[in-house]
Amino acid sequence: MPRKNVKINKPPVLIRQTQKSIQKIEKMLDGTFLSYWNSPGGSVCHNDVMAFYEILKYMKTGKNLYLFIKSNGGDGEASLRIVNLLRKHFNKIIAILPLECASAATMIALGADEVQMGPLAYLTAIDTSLCHSLSPVDKNNQTVSVSQDELTRVIRLWHEYKQGAGENPYKSLYPHIHPLVFGAIDRASSLSIKLCKEILSYHIKDAKVSDKISQHLNSNYPSHEYPITLREAQRIGLKVKAIDPALNDLLIELNSYYSEMGQRALTDYDEENYHNNEILNILEGDRIQIYYQNDKDWHYRKEERRWVPLNDISLWYRQVVSGKKIVSSKFHIR
């Protein structure tokens, strides 16, 4: 349990440094710059939509938006909502990618009229994986994600090697993976293709083209993390080009500040209790930064073999540059 007089480790909030980087970046662009950054522990989620809505109040809208995305993915439905919101405020969206832009973040990039990628940048496949309440559990007794591709491959291998010839493979799989998980993943796979097609329709009017790209991203890769680099993204049919090297260097510099903000900030109380104070998601434009910060204790329940959160006061924060001052406030999203 929490210990009194224990100094809690906290990550730095580097808005003065990030704002200087953003000012340099905007001088190179013919439009508005907006960064969307997730730490490895963060993800694309529905609360981000409200954060985008709030940050747009402080930005010049109308013409071009240059959207810096760095994320390992998250909720595809949230990606659609983010794209829909941004398209209502800008005539053209250019996604600028210096690093990973995976899964649901790839979906956001699909909503851009143009994608610019650096030498370290990559998109990924969007094959569906799902962490269902009835999913299998890992060694820590936590439910794990199961993907449509994994299930399809297991069944295909069953038939190829004729394991249990004449038997239905599902009979052997159901003791390990609940039937409702199979149904939920199949439904989610159809949803993923639908989301991709809807997002692409904002700038690709040919339904056959958007369908081809959607099917390819959802079905043609052996790994969910398969890195789709610039050349392959062009072959798929996306409008992609190399990013300006000077711009890429500035984005890498900005990422280094975000990485310092997003460093793991854990405080151990004992072997069964610790505190997490990590910044997960950051959105930032000229004069405005919004971020989500974990602020909670974790306790290990031996009888359940899993970690459970306690005293959770995690929150979104808003920082606004006003002259030489930084005005910080809580930003409540429910």
pLDDT in the model for residue 175: 74
Convert the pLDDT of each residue in 95-145 to its tens digit.
999 999 998 999 999 999 999 999 999 999 886 555 555 566 666 556 666
pLDDT in the model for residue 49: 96
User: Cα separation of 280 and 316, whole Å?
Assistant: 10
- State yes or no: pLDDT of 151 exceeds 60: yes
| CATH assignment of the domain containing 326 | 3.90.226
Q: What is the pTM of this model?
A: 0.85
Convert the pLDDT of each residue in 302-332 to its tens digit.
888 888 999 999 999 999 998 889 999 999 9
181 & 259 share domain: no
Task: Tell me phi and psi for residue 72, to 5 degrees.
Answer: -95, 5
In a domain, 165, yes or no: yes
Q: How many domains does the chain have?
A: 2
pLDDT in the model for residue 131: 58
94 & 157 share domain: no
In a domain, 7, yes or no: no
Range of the domain at 247: 15-124+227-331
107 & 24 share domain: yes
User: Cα separation of 207 and 81, whole Å?
Assistant: 20
**Cβ contacts of residue 303 below 8 Å, gap of 6+?**
none
327 & 240 share domain: yes
282 & 317 share domain: yes
Could you tell me the end-to-end alpha-carbon distance of the chain, in angstroms, rounded to an integer?
A: 27
CB 291 within 8 A of CB 265: no
167 & 307 share domain: no
Helix (H, G, I), strand (E, B) or coil at 64: strand
In a domain, 211, yes or no: no
Mean pLDDT, the chain, rounded, equals 87
Convert the pLDDT of each residue in 246-290 to its tens digit.
999 999 999 999 999 999 999 999 999 999 999 999 999 999 999
pLDDT in the model for residue 303: 87
179 & 233 share domain: no
110 & 26 share domain: yes
